[in-house]
């Protein structure tokens, strides 16, 4: 079985705001979970608590294919460099989830919401470093070109790190990253990993994605604040 080693030329890290955003989401359980809220009430609470991080919510059509994200009522997100806001799309299904009417739990919702926010925060960082990064986005319908874009690769690595950290220990993930079989197993826990394993099997770009993921997972959180 092939074993992989990682040579890190540019260290990727978690966004420094993620720990406090994670804590904020965890502390919302008493307000959001099984309180018979409707979507407009849920949106109001989320907007009030996350606005300081420039995150807001907007109801959208339930057009996403079946996925972990659609199962918890999330459907897409966008970072607007003109306003600085990340907008999270949610569907009518969100109220069902947070009222305990589905198989998903509050922790599933917060893990995946944090993963989406992490993805968009990476785009925010990219734009802050280089304003031209806000222009000429790849067409998501051309999936291989879209995922090959270095901006999306970095963002999906950040997203995948949150997806995995919410379900496995860091040591488990790092061990699985060392082998092809382990990488395939990680795709069962992360949609970000699944996208890249599916479309870039055994390619240099796949190795670059996993190198970014490895870097995020092995950088101490306090270094992200430097």
The whole domain housing 208 covers 137-226
Q: When comparing pLDDT for 64 and 151, which is higher?
A: 151
Do 143 and 72 lie in one domain? The reply is no
| Residue whose entry in the numeric block shows the structure tokens 């979970």 | 33
pLDDT (0 to 100) of residue 100: 97
Backbone angles phi, psi at 85, to 5 degrees: -95, 145
| Assessment of whether the complete model's pTM goes beyond 0.85 | yes
90 vs 42: CA distance, rounded Å = 10
Do 120 and 17 lie in one domain? The reply is yes
What are the tens digits of pLDDT across the range 60-110? 998 767 889 999 999 999 999 999 999 999 999 999 999 999 999 999 999
For 62, other C-beta atoms within 10 Å of its C-beta total: 14
Do 115 and 169 lie in one domain? The reply is no
Do 79 and 104 lie in one domain? The reply is yes
Kindly state whether residue 4 falls inside one of the protein's structural domains.
Answer: no
Do 109 and 182 lie in one domain? The reply is no
- From residue 174, alpha-carbon distances to 4, 142, 161, 210 in Å are 11, 31, 11, 10
Q: How many structural domains does the chain have?
A: 2
Q: Which residues does 147 contact at the CB level (< 8 Å), separation at least 6? A: 153, 156, 195, 196, 199, 200
Q: Give yes or no for a contact between 122 and 178, defined as CB atoms under 8 angstroms apart.
A: no
Which domain-ending residue is among 73, 97, 124? 124
> Band of the pLDDT at 53, cuts 50, 70, 90?
very high
Do 150 and 90 lie in one domain? The reply is no
Q: Which residues does 180 contact at the CB level (< 8 Å), separation at least 6? A: 1, 2, 202
Which domain-ending residue is among 91, 124, 157? 124
For 29, other C-beta atoms within 10 Å of its C-beta total: 16
Kindly state whether residue 50 falls inside one of the protein's structural domains.
Answer: yes
128 vs 132: CA distance, rounded Å = 9
Do 153 and 97 lie in one domain? The reply is no
Do 74 and 108 lie in one domain? The reply is yes
């Amino acid at each position: 079985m092939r074993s992989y080693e990682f040579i890190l030329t540019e260290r990727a890290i978690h966004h420094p705001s993620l720990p406090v955003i994670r804590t904020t989401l965890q502390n919302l359980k008493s307000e959001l979970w099984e309180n018979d809220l409707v979507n407009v009430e849920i949106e109001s609470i989320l907007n009030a608590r996350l606005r300081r991080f420039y995150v807001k919510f907007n109801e959208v059509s339930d057009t996403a294919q079946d996925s972990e994200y659609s199962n918890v009522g999330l459907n897409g997100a966008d970072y607007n460099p003109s306003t600085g806001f990340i907008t999270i799309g949610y569907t009518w299904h969100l109220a069902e989830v947070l009222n305990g009417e589905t198989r998903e739990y509050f922790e599933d919702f917060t893990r995946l919401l944090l993963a989406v926010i992490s993805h968009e925060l990476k785009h925010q960082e990219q734009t802050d470093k280089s304003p031209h990064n806000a222009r000429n986005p790849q067409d998501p319908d051309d999936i291989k070109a879209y995922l090959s874009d270095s901006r999306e690769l970095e963002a999906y690595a950040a997203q995948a790190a949150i997806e995995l950290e919410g379900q496995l220990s860091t040591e488990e993930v790092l061990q699985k990253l060392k082998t092809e079989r382990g990488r395939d197993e990680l795709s069962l826990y992360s949609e970000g990993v699944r996208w890249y394993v599916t479309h870039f099997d055994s390619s240099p770009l796949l190795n670059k994605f996993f190198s970014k993921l490895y870097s995020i997972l092995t950088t101490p959180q306090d270094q992200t604040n430097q």
